[in-house]
Structure 1
Amino acid sequence: MFSQYQEQCQAFIVEHMKTDLAHDLLHVQRVVKLATEIAESEHAELNVVLPAAWLHDCLSYPKNHALRTLSSLHAADKAIVFLRSIDYPEQYLLAIHHAIAAHSVSGGIKAESLEAKIVQDADRLDALGAIGVARCIQVSSQLQRPLYSASDAFAEQRTLDDQQFTIDHFYTKLLKLSKTMHTEMGKTIAQQRTQWMKGYLAQLALEL
């Protein structure tokens, strides 16, 4: 059923999504792909998962914005207004709202439904692996943060501070994401991508 609404959802995202270098249409498309694969493996309700995946970043405050922690909740509200405007079946809207509201790490809302867990897994997987490294560097560059501390690159004798150094974000957040996955497929992919990131950090250490 969702296929008849997909073009409208994509057009809405293109028009309304406030993008940064790491949160753009390409990110949304990757999350949709991952969410679809996980949902099919879990026999979840695609009429909830797919619109939530497409619209999860329809509103996103910048990383350093005072309202950053409310991004996912405000995105959920905005998505439901849009879905009602295109006559999306009402029976799915509450579940879609929850799936979007719960997707963000910073939002702090626990994913309760299977569909919300799938969207959350898919979004977090896009922060891992090769694409995760690239996105992390993109965001940090936009915020004008250096890659590492010149005096202590891997925080061996200082407190980690990912507000100051890009590499610190791997240790404060990214390398911990695999432990937050809900689905079996999500866990498997997350572990693989986390190992790749650890390899990247090991190689970086050799080059510094």
Structure 2
Amino acid sequence: MTPAALQSACEAALARLWGDTTDGAHDLGHVRRVLANARTIAAGEGGADDMVLIPAAILHDAVNLPKDHPDRSRASALSAEAAAEVLAALPYPAEKIPAVAHAIAAHSFSAGIAPETAEARILQDADRLEALGAIGLARMFHVAGQMGAALFDADDPMALYRTLDDRRFSLDHLEVKLFPVAAAMQTETGRAIAAERAEWMQSFRTRLLAEIG
């Protein structure tokens, strides 16, 4: 099975798994960007198996639960199980399926599973890069809007006199999660890209604060 055929088969399987559900922050564009990120990181790091990265990246959100779902922390494990079933039905090397499943299970921030392989470390960084930079901000505000959060606290946007609360205020998410994510990348290539994107987000926040006075 060629890499292109594998990607096409995994995308078709993902479409079947998602059905009619729509999520602007977790759509086909997202998984394709994660795959592109993974390939960029793999090229910088070396030693990764593209035939593991492709299905892991495409199927990493096969089971996509909302941020406030009680089983959210299990979403990556459920996605890993779904991916294993998809790959078992394809002309795909059975011996590679555990590596794909581990990479998917370990990619999630909330799962708390340490990545043990090159592919798992790369996928975790590739997915987390989607939370940074311009695309990260777009996704952040999109998800926050879905959950009913305000853009920021008009009285104290930088939380100088209150506790950070990213469930109420979108801008708080930068300090609560996104800047820490940028500082905790697994690979040297991922860290370099994340640092540039985090710097851009800081510049955006500075501009936003200037505009709102």
Shift of 1:3: 2.7
Shift of 1:154: 1.2
1:78 maps to 82
Q: Taking every aligned residue pair, what percent have the same amino acid on both sides?
A: 44
Q: Identify the match of residue 24 of structure 1 among 27, 32, 36.
A: 27
Q: Distance in 1 between matches of 2:152 and 2:44?
A: 39
Contact 2:103–2:121, Cα closer than 8 Å, also in 1: yes
Alignment pair present for 1:197 and 2:198: no
Secondary structure in 2 aligned to 1:166? coil
Maintained 8 Å contact 2:6/2:54: no
The one of 16, 22, 42 equivalent to 2:45 is 42
**Structure 2 stretches of 5 or more lacking a match?**
none
Give the unaligned 5+ runs of structure 1: none
Once the two structures are superposed, what CA deviation does each residue of 1:114-153 show, in whole Å capped at 9, x if it has no partner? 1100000000001100000000000011111110112211
Q: TM-score, normalised by structure 2?
A: 0.94
Give RMSD over aligned pairs: 1.1
Asked if the contact 1:127–1:133 (Cα under 8 Å) also holds between the matched residues in 2, the reply is yes
- 1:39–1:49 Cα contact (<8 Å) kept: no
More off after superposition, 40-49 vs 77-86: 40-49
Q: Displaced runs of 4+ in structure 1, greater than 4 A?
A: none
Question: How many aligned residue pairs are there?
Answer: 208
CA contact 1:127–1:174 (8 Å) conserved in 2: yes
Q: Summarize deviations over 1:3-30 as a string: whole Å, max 9, x none.
A: 3322110111222234422111111110
Q: 2:107 aligned with 1:103, yes or no?
A: yes
TM-score (norm 1): 0.96
